[in-house]
Amino acid sequence: MFKRTLFEADHETLRHQIADFLETQVVPDHPQWVADRQAPRAIWQQAGAAGLLCRTIPTDCGGHGGDFRDSVVIIEEIAKRRLCGLLTFLQSDIVAPYLHRLGNEVQRQEYLPGLCSGRRIGAIALTEPQGGSDLHALSCAAEQDGDEIVLTGEKTHISNGSQADLIIVAARKGGTDGGTGQPTGFDMVLVDADAPGLTRSRINKTGMPALDTSHLRFDGCRVPQGNLLGASGMGFFYLVSFLSIERLVLAVYAQAMTETLLQETVKLCSTRQTGQGTTLDYQATQFRLADLYGEAMANRSFVDSCITDHLAGRLDNRNACIAKLRSTETLAAIAAAKLQLSGARGYCTEGPDTATQDVLDSAIQTIWGGSSEVMRNVVGSSLANIL
Ligand SMILES: Cc1cc2nc3c(=O)[nH]c(=O)nc-3n(C[C@H](O)[C@H](O)[C@H](O)COP(=O)(O)OP(=O)(O)OC[C@H]3O[C@@H](n4cnc5c(N)ncnc54)[C@H](O)[C@@H]3O)c2cc1C
């Protein structure tokens, strides 16, 4: 739909391989995953064997040693097929990079090969019941007890939460604040699925129905001291340092979904016959879709420039926020337009023009990974710097 200059021949070859895997191994079974509210564990290993996982992790840790464009190709192919049961980006572009960047050699060798092959499923737990937007308010506690860390608290809406073999948990470091009255820092703690004191329960939700989304309880959950990821008390700094890539990944996903919905909407309007032609012949339809197409084109250009910046190591958080804000809000707008323009057929749960699930799946994009309001806060509070 848009001319892009980002990719090389190898990326296009990868795109065909990924498309083939998804069409044969995932698309036929995805309705069952929706019914089960999760993907089967086996698909993660199949995805690993097909080269869908951890493309940017070096080969000596089990990855492919590729660049972020490999990840982009995979995210796009999954997004445009609405395969919410296999959101590989969480494992490949967030959990594994945390371990690769912050882990010591023992942790890397212990966890990364399994994440890369799909033998292990990963999750990251930041959000708590009292709110996910304000990470400063995080209250799950990590107390040191001899050579163990004891976690107490709750995390909620955690993707892959019930199935994960490894969860990276952000928790407030116990101990003193040095008499400053300031809250202590955070620790990032690696929690294995069989850690005593960890219980998990699935959350029912309307959007992204095949994605395992769970509530986690840590009741004096004990892990060895060796499971501390990075330096103690530095968790908030680490979280912030990963925000740009998380936001970019979500923008890549939303943009690919936008382009699919836009094409589907134009197609349905151009084939829906009315007494005077098609619904695309109405000027009202053309104006609405012209605006959305223009937004999507501008967003495509901006998201690709953010990808280029990330590849060059110069993506700044403000631009990542703009990319996430714009791409997810345009997605929500095109999903709403598709429903409106498809009429009653869009409101049905079956048939080629069903559109309500897209509205529900799109709705979370402006919330997770930092809501639109938080994105605007980041951009707005940095405006003095543009002078
Ligand atoms: C399907 C799904 C998967 C998820 N996966 C994960 C995961 O893997 N790991 C994880 O840690 N979390 C995950 N989350 C949680 C997600 O990141 C949070 O929902 C998100 O950060 C917002 O937090 P909240 O829902 O607690 O909303 P709140 O923080 O309560 O905010 C609610 C609303 O209040 C407004 N608001 C909040 N703060 C501000 C502000 N500063 N300024 C202006 N307005 C504001 C916004 O409109 C916001 O949407 C997931 C959520 C869902 C639904």
**pLDDT confidence of residue 240:** 92
What pLDDT is stored for residue 131 in this prediction? 87
Q: Which atom of ligand 1 is nearest to the CA of 134?
A: 29
Nearest one of 362, 328, 358, 355 to 341, comparing CA atoms: 355
Give the 3-state secondary structure percentages of the chain, helix then strand then coil, rounded to 5: 55, 15, 30
Q: From the CA of 323, how far away is ligand 1's center (Å)?
A: 18
Distance 179 CA to ligand 1 centre (A): 32
213 in ligand 1 pocket by Cβ < 6 Å? Answer: yes
Average pLDDT by stretches of 10, the chain with 387 residues:
91 98 98 96 98 98 97 98 97 98 98 98 97 91 96 98 98 70 82 98 96 98 98 94 96 98 97 93 98 98 98 96 98 98 92 91 97 97 90
pLDDT at 178: 53
Q: What is the pLDDT of residue 387?
A: 86
CB of 12 closer than 6 A to ligand 1?
no
Q: Specify the ligand 1 atom closest to the Cα of 364.
A: 53
With 0-12 CB in 10 A as exposed, 13-18 as middle and 19+ as buried, what is 372? middle
Ligand 1 site, residue 108, Cβ cutoff 6 A: no
CA gap 10, 25 in Å, rounded: 22
**Tokens matching residue 234:** 């530095």
Please give the pLDDT value at position 175: 60
DSSP assigned state of 252: H
> What confidence score (pLDDT) does residue 342 get?
95
CB atoms within 10 A of CB 350: 7
Distance 154 CA to ligand 1 centre (A): 15
Q: Which residue has the tokens 């990032």?
A: 188
- Residue position matching structure tokens 């999750």: 123
Ligand 1, atom 31: closest residue by C-alpha: 133
Inter-residue contact 251 to 320 (CB < 8 Å): yes
For the chain, how far is it from start to end, CA to CA, in angstroms?
Answer: 36
Ligand 1 in reach of 369 Cβ (< 6 A): yes
Please give the pLDDT value at position 182.
61
pLDDT given for residue 385 in this prediction: 86
Ligand 1 neighbourhood includes 127 CB (under 6 angstroms)? yes
DSSP string, 366-387: GTTTS-HHHHHHHHHHTGGGG-
Domains of the chain, start order? 9-120 (1.10.540.10), 124-233 (2.40.110.10), 237-386 (1.20.140.10)
Q: What are phi and psi of 245, to 5 degrees?
A: -70, -35
Ligand 1 pocket, residue 168 CB under 6 Å = no
| 125 CA: nearest ligand 1 atom | 11
368 close to ligand 1 (CB < 6 Angstrom): yes
pLDDT for the residue numbered 180: 60
The atom of ligand 1 lying closest to the CA of 369 is 17
- In this prediction, residue 349 carries a pLDDT of 85
